[in-house]
Structure 1
């Protein structure tokens, strides 16, 4: 059985398998440079293999977030632009007519996750009551070349 165990940006999968399958499994993942495999033996009858597959911090992650609460009229967009630029992110931020703020963040996995955490707090005058995260992947979610403030939608 496979048990995913998240650890920071690393996912550990603990796999119990018979000894004859370990070399097959090892060979099948050896071409993946971000995977690491370690073999542990509790006892000869119950070998355990652990594979750690870390998120490559240089790979690009793009996500769209919607922040709810008292987030308009408190310089949330300017704060977002400053923080996103500090983290080296591409994308945009804009107000929505429903009173929320929407943003698209694109950059390294760690930087996008850090920005997500910062958005949960926001600037000092903001009161964030909710944050929704949507993974992105199409042309409609193009982050552009820098980080900018967009008009209200």
Structure 2
């Protein structure tokens, strides 16, 4: 039985493969917002993309599954997910530059 007071979960993601220069961050932001998640996504110097996603467990899991494919031009090698501490100060989902 689920209720609206169930605590959010948070996961830190590291996505590797051909994930920069293919609109991966914008795709992640759009998908996260459509799922009602908060957090951020950013490119890393090593060519990977990292993200912090937070929200209801089912929505976070849905984003992690979708991240395996990403946008059409992406070629994802791996999505590594680790649990993180939820951050009550996160509002919305942004792209970090």
> What is the TM-score with the length of structure 1 in the denominator?
0.58
Partner of 1:137: 85
Q: Deviations over 1:41-88 (max 9, x none)?
A: xxxxxxxxxxxxxx8784311000000000000000000000000000
Partner of 2:54: 106
The answer to whether the 8 A contact 1:105-1:143 is kept is: no
Calculate the aligned-residue CA RMSD, in Å: 1.9
Which consecutive residues of structure 1, in runs of 5 or more, have no partner in the other structure? 1-33, 35-54
Partner of 1:59: 7
Among 77, 89, 94, which residue is 2:25 paired with? Answer: 77
Once residues 3 and 65 of structure 2 are traced to their aligned partners in structure 1, the CA distance between those partners, rounded to angstroms, is 19
> What is the TM-score with the length of structure 2 in the denominator?
0.90
Q: Which has the higher contact order (CA 8 A, sep 6+)?
A: 2
Q: Which structure carries more strand by proportion?
A: 1
Deviating runs (4+, > 4 A) in structure 1? none
Larger Rg: 1
Question: Between Structure 1 and Structure 2, how many residues are aligned?
Answer: 96
